[in-house]
Amino acid sequence: MDGKIALEEHWAIDETLNIAGQPIGAGEMRRLLVDFRDRRLTDMDTNGIELAILGLNSPALQAILVPAEAANVAYRANNILADEIAHNPRRFAGFAGLPMQDPEAAARELTRCVTDLGFKGAMVNCFTQRQMPDSAIYFDLPEFRPFWATVAELDVPIYLHPRLTIPSRAKSYEGHPWLYSPVWDFGSETALQALRLIGSGLFDEFPNLQIVLGHLGERIPFDMWRIDNLMNKSPVKHSAKKPVSHYMRNNFHLTTSGQSHDTPFHCALAEMGPLRIMFSVDYPFEEMAPAASWFDNTALSDADRIRIGRTNAIRLFKLSLD
């Protein structure tokens, strides 16, 4: 299928490649993250991807401990991305990077990026550090309600992206470093944060908020029935007014990033429906060719393939592609 839109596609600057002692890979990965006009475009052309919405690598800004520094790096990174988009506006669009260490600064930067730079929303990692290396600040906390009010007013989606659990909070992974990695921790940490947002009542307060989850929903679709079923029986209730599945189907969208396989895809499709799923790659951490080939050949109606590969993203992000 030509004309696909991909929207968990990463880029980086020096500060986000080396933040908090977590350097990203070696030469080739680093080169691909900072490339816009060479390999990235060539691979997009080869694999039928018309447009990529770009977001900073993980943990990016959310690992900067000093709020003022995070705001400065966000401002610079977003300006760099805007300049690159201006070179290829028909091939690239942008997600803002936000200094979530300071919710007011994050709201201001999101407003600037949407209204002045034309960005389509923001990509934030699923919690932020602040002041102390072992801190973890979650976005369902009351201090973030004014930020979410700004998101609702701007009417743009937020892509909730994974990052690793803070080491001091990852005792259950001791002796098993393979689990403390994108193999498992990425999905479990992000799913937990998405469920916290739901359980906090955020979407009752702002019913039009839209959140995007990658990797086909970080395993939540597989468990949606069980979550609702157990909550019906549990004496311990969350603060939300409706079942978790209601908010997933009304306030969340999923992408296929890093999940190029029929079984999880068709599970997510059955639970969420074809209007809530969008194609993505997770480039350069995943390769475009196998992701595009799988999507182009998985069993779908022509109408659903176009929806998931293209038109759902056009509608959600208000894209103008003529």
φ, ψ at 279 (rounded to 5°):
-70, 140
Q: Measured on CA atoms in the order 92, 107, 252, 286, is the torsion positive or negative? A: positive
20, 64 in Cβ contact below 8 A? yes
Residues facing residue 278 across a β-bridge = 255
- For tokens 């060719």, what's the residue? 289
**How far is it, in rounded angstroms, from Cα 287 to Cα 214?**
15
- For tokens 């189907």, what's the residue? 249
Please pick, among 43, 102, 185, 282, the residue that the annotation labels catalytic. 282
Q: What is the DSSP letter of 287?
A: -
45 classed as catalytic: no
- For tokens 């944060």, what's the residue? 193
Q: What is the DSSP letter of 274?
A: G
**Which class for 117: exposed (0-12), middle (13-18), buried (19 or more C-beta within 10 A)?**
middle
Quote the Cα angle for 218-220-221, to 5°.
Answer: 115
**Which class for 201: exposed (0-12), middle (13-18), buried (19 or more C-beta within 10 A)?**
middle
Q: Which positions are annotated as active-site residues?
A: 282
